[in-house]
Amino acid sequence: MTPTAEPTAFTTDETYTPEGAYTFRNSREGVRRLPFPFPDDEYMYSMNLEPHVPAGDGAMRAAFDIDEHYISECHHRAQMLEAMPGVHYLALPHMMEAQWDLLELIFESYARDYPEHFTLTKTGNEWHWQNRLLGIDDTFTFGDPTTLPLEPMEYATRQAQGEFVVLEERDNDLVIGAGMTTQRADYSLRFNLGMRFFEFHGPVPKLHEMGILDRALKFLLRMKPGHPVRRVNWSLTVNPRLETSVETLPEWAPDRATVDAENAGERVYLRIELQPLHRLPRSNAIVFPVRTYLVSLAELVEHAPDWAKRIHRALASLDPELVDYKGFHRYHAAAVAWLAQHDDGAPLATGYPWAEGGIQPGD
């Protein structure tokens, strides 16, 4: 694994809420390492699954990426869980084995990929976990939930960036069995828990008609432990707000009406989702993590001008049905108009930035 060029400087006190005045910011390096999700000038849905192998020295370097926002994001998760108990974290009773699987996967990955921050020491089933970024030093017995202060999945994912949805395999289908979803984009975990694969994808347009879901489900059911796959997805959101659940829609939806062509650069954020899926070894469940990155359009222009040009073209040519589904119908035109000022029409490379010859951030 390639070492990062410089140690990450963690920002510990930034906020993702209006109460906290949205102090979230990206550094230049933070922007240029993003898993930018537009390989072409035109965007259309695809399964775009690829083997989750280390690539480049950005977000695709580790199994579970952490970045400069790790500490503040973990604090935000704790605040959200405290504010709305039983809404952001749920696990069906029979998911305990998968919970331990997930804890193991996250802790082993972090300790392997970031030994400077995390250490996992195993003596049989007695595990010693050290998380120096959050100041955690615990010992527990693997497989014995009474030795942890929280359920294993909650304990582990409170120390992880991104959402985690665990799918159990049942009758050749995948059913949502557990989730840690303090950053979800306009859905409800309480509502979706227990849903089958086609059910929880129900609201997404075009997928069913295009046959993508059929192929995706067949592919996922063939997944084997130790061979993760990944895809990227994206949306737009207003303000650097991570928690945009259905439950709190009355709080965040009005922000969509505040965007105009003057303020779009500061207000509108690209929300990138990196989804590295893993088959879990004991439970045979599949974990579907959604590692979310926020970057404002202005930050893209300043630190990654070629990516800003690319997103301008992708948004300008986007299928109206997707604009509607992704929820930015009201400010789509403003975002495109603002970005147009920063696009000279120069040809851009195709392919994801972490792929050979793919689009780079530009200078």
Partner 1 sequence: MLITGIKSRPVYDRLAPMASGLRHLAIAQGSGGQPMLRLLADMTPAQRGVATVVYSSESFTGNSYEAELRAVDGIDLRLCASNVEALQVLDDLLSTAKMGTRLYLAGSEGFIGTAMQRATEYGLDRDEILREHAGSFVRRVWCAHCNAYTENVTQRIFRCPGCGLDLVVRDHYSSRLAAFQGVKADGEVPGELPEIEELDT
Catalytic annotation, pick one of 196, 231, 256, 330: 231
Supply the DSSP string of 154-223, one letter for each residue.
HHHHTTSSSEEEEEEEETTEEEEEEEE-TT-BS--HHHHTT-BHHHHTTTSTTHHHHTHHHHHHHHHHT-
CB of 129 to partner 1, least distance (A): 33
Number of residues engaging partner 1 in binding (CB under 8 A): 27
Q: How far apart (Å, rounded) are the C-alpha atoms in residues 133 and 180?
A: 20
Distant-in-sequence, close-in-space partners of 289: CB < 8 Å, separation ≥ 6 = 64, 162, 163, 164, 165, 275, 276, 277, 278
Sequence-ordered alpha helix ranges (H) in the chain: 28-32, 70-83, 96-113, 152-157, 189-192, 197-200, 207-210, 212-221, 249-252, 264-267, 297-303, 305-316, 320-325, 332-340
Binding mask 255-294 for partner 1 (x = CB under 8 A): -xx-------------------------------------
**Is the CB of residue 160 less than 8 Å from the CB of residue 106?**
yes
**Is the CB of residue 244 less than 8 Å from the CB of residue 184?**
yes
CB of 70 to partner 1, least distance (A): 30
Q: How far apart (Å, rounded) are the C-alpha atoms in residues 105 and 135?
A: 20
CB of 248 to partner 1, least distance (A): 8
Instruction: Check residue 305 for interaction with partner 1 (CB under 8 A).
Output: no
Residues in 205-224 at the binding interface with partner 1, rule: CB under 8 A:
205, 208
Instruction: Check residue 203 for interaction with partner 1 (CB under 8 A).
Output: yes
Per the annotation, the verdict on 231 as an active-site residue is: yes
Instruction: Check residue 319 for interaction with partner 1 (CB under 8 A).
Output: no
Nearer to partner 1, 57 or 251 (CB): 251
- Options 4-12, 34-42, 71-79, 245-253: segment touching partner 1 (CB under 8 A): 245-253
Instruction: Check residue 340 for interaction with partner 1 (CB under 8 A).
Output: no
Nearer to partner 1, 126 or 214 (CB): 214
CB of 252 to partner 1, least distance (A): 8
Q: How far apart (Å, rounded) are the C-alpha atoms in residues 211 and 209?
A: 5
Binding mask 163-202 for partner 1 (x = CB under 8 A): -------------------------x-xxxxxx--xxxxx
Q: Under the rule (CB under 8 A), what is the footprint of partner 1? A: 188, 190-195, 198-203, 205, 208, 246-247, 249-250, 253-254, 256-257, 324-325, 327, 330
Catalytic residue numbers, as ranges:
231
